[in-house]
Amino acid sequence: MTVPGSDRLTPVRAADAPADGAFTVLDVGGTTLRTGTYDPVTAVLSGVRRVPVEGVARHPGDPVAVLQERVVDQIVHEVARHTDGAAPRAVGVAFAGPISAGGLVLAAPTVWGRRGAPLPLGQLLSRRIGAPVVVVNDLTAAAWRYAATEAEPFCLLTVSSGIGNKVFRGGDVLLDADGHGGELGHWVCDPSPDAPLCDCGGRGHLGGIASGRGVLAAARRAVAADPAGFARSRLAELCGGRADALDNPAIAAAVREGDPFATGVLRGTLTYLAQAIGAVFTSIGICRYVIMGGFALAVGERYRELLVGELVRLGCFGLDADAVDALVSLGRPDDDHGLIGVGRLLADRTGPHLRQEA
C-alpha cells in the first residue's frame, strides 16, 4: 500500500456530490466493523452489516503496517459491497483511535496494537473509493449521536475493547487539531512496574485495567489467586467450572445475577474509572456522563450502580450521593452509536462542504 505524503483532503462542495441520497457510514472498532446507510433527511439508519475487523485481534502476529493495509482494504471492500459497486454520495468512518483534523490516524491500539506510522486514512479512502470521505474518532462520532438528546455539556464514555471519552460542549467535541483529547483509556492510573499491559504497549493505562479486555484479564488473575472462590461462584457455573472458558459474556451475566466473585472483580476495576470521572468533573465541571460500549451495556444497570457506588465512596467534591447518582446514565442498548453519529456529523458538515474533522 502506498501512503501519500499529505493527510489533508481537498474540501468537497455538496454541489460536487449528488444532490440527494444517503450516506454510507462505517464504524471500525477493535473487534467489529459495521457498515450501514444513513439518510440525512429522515435520520434513519438502515442496512447494517457486521463483520470481524481484519486487525490485531484476528492477526496478532502481523506487523502494524500489514494490519493497516488489511484494514484499509477491508473498508474499501465493505463500501463497495454495501453500495453494489456504485460510487457513494459520501462516506463517514468512525474509527477507534486518535485522529487529527486532517483525518490522520495517529494510533489505533485496539485495531492494530502498537503504534506504527500515522496513517492518512481519510485521503487513502477518498482516493480509492472515489467519493468524499470523513474520518473521525469513534467516540467523536458517538458524541454527535447523543448531542441530539443530551443537554450540553456532557461527557461520553465507552467501555468495550478499550476505553475512550469525548466531551461535547458549545456545539462540538472538544479536541485540538492534532486529535489530542478524549483518550482517558491511556491515562496512567497504575504506575507500578507490574501494572497490566494496555493494547498500545504501555503499562497501567485505564483501558488496560477497566475495559472489557482489562476486566477479563483481572478475572483471570482473580481465578488464579483464588481457585476455590472461583469454584464456588456463579461465574464458574456459567463457565462449566473451567477457568479456560472464562469470557466477557460470562462475567457480565454473573455480575447481573449478583455473583460476589465476579462483582468483586469488576468493582476493583471501576475504582480507576471512578477516579477518572472524578478528575473530569472536578477539573471542568461536566455534570453528565453517558456510559456506552459493549461490555458496560452487557452488564447493564448493575454496571451503572457499581460505578456510582465507587464515585460516592471516593467522593465527588461538592456533591451528595443523590447528585452523584444523577451524574451517570447508560447509553442506548445498541451498537449503532458510531454509525448514527457519523451520519449526523456528515449531515451537519454538508452545508457548505464536506471536510475532515478530528
Q: How far apart are CA 207 and CA 286, in angstroms?
A: 21
pLDDT digits (tens, 9 = 90+) for 129-164: 999 999 999 889 999 999 988 988 999 999 988 898
Q: What is the pLDDT of residue 33?
A: 95
**Contact at 8 Å (CB) between 284 and 167?**
yes
Whether the predicted pLDDT of 99 surpasses 60: yes
135, three cell numbers: 474520518
Res. 353 pLDDT band, cuts 50 70 90: very low
pLDDT-wise least confident of 11-15, 37-41, 314-318, 343-347? 11-15
DSSP 221-277: HHHHH-HHHHHTSHHHHHTTT-GGG--HHHHHHHHHTT-HHHHHHHHHHHHHHHHHH
Show the DSSP H helices in the chain as ranges.
64-82, 109-112, 121-129, 138-146, 206-210, 212-225, 227-231, 234-238, 248-256, 260-284, 294-299, 301-314, 321-327, 337-349
How confident is the model over 326-344, as a mean pLDDT?
A: 93
Map grid coordinates 467535541 to a residue: 173
Determine what percent of the chain is predicted with pLDDT higher than 70.
92
pLDDT of residue 180: 77
Name the least confident of 58-72, 108-122, 268-282: 108-122
Mean model confidence pLDDT for the chain = 89
Q: Residues in the chain, how many? A: 358
- Which is it for strands 163-169 and 172-173: parallel, antiparallel or unpaired? antiparallel
Q: Is 56 helix (H, G, I), strand (E, B) or coil?
A: coil
pTM score, two decimals? 0.80
Cell matching residue 200: 498500545
**Range in 32-41, 312-321, 346-355 with the lowest mean pLDDT:** 346-355
User: Is 99 within 8 Å of 106 (Cβ atoms)?
Assistant: yes
Whole-angstrom distance, CA of residue 253 vs CA of residue 246: 12
Lowest model confidence (mean pLDDT) among 10-14, 107-111, 165-169, 270-274: 10-14
What is d(CA 184, CA 141) in angstroms, rounded to the nearest whole number? 17
Between the CA of residue 132 and those of 11, 62, 123, 289, what are the distances in Å?
8, 30, 9, 33
Q: DSSP label at 16?
A: G
- Please report the pLDDT score of residue 17 as a whole number: 37
Residues 309-319 pLDDT 10s: 999 999 998 99
Q: Is the pLDDT of residue 7 over 80?
A: no
Mean pLDDT on 322-333: 95
Decide if pLDDT at 6 tops 50: no
Distances in Å between the alpha carbon of 317 and those of 2, 278, 283, 313, 324? 52, 8, 11, 12, 10
Write down all domains in the chain, each with its CATH number in brackets: 12-145+336-354 (3.30.420.40), 183-287+294-330 (3.30.420.40)
Interatomic CA distance for residues 143 and 288, integer angstroms? 12
Residue 12 has pLDDT above 50, yes or no: no
Q: Parallel, antiparallel, or unpaired for β 23-28 and 32-39?
A: antiparallel
1 pLDDT exceeds 90?
no
17 in Cβ contact with 130 (< 8 Å)? no
Confidence of residue 117 (pLDDT cuts 50, 70, 90): confident
Angle at 218 between CA 98 and CA 259, to 5 degrees: 120
pLDDT digit string, tens, across residues 204-221: 999 999 999 999 999 999
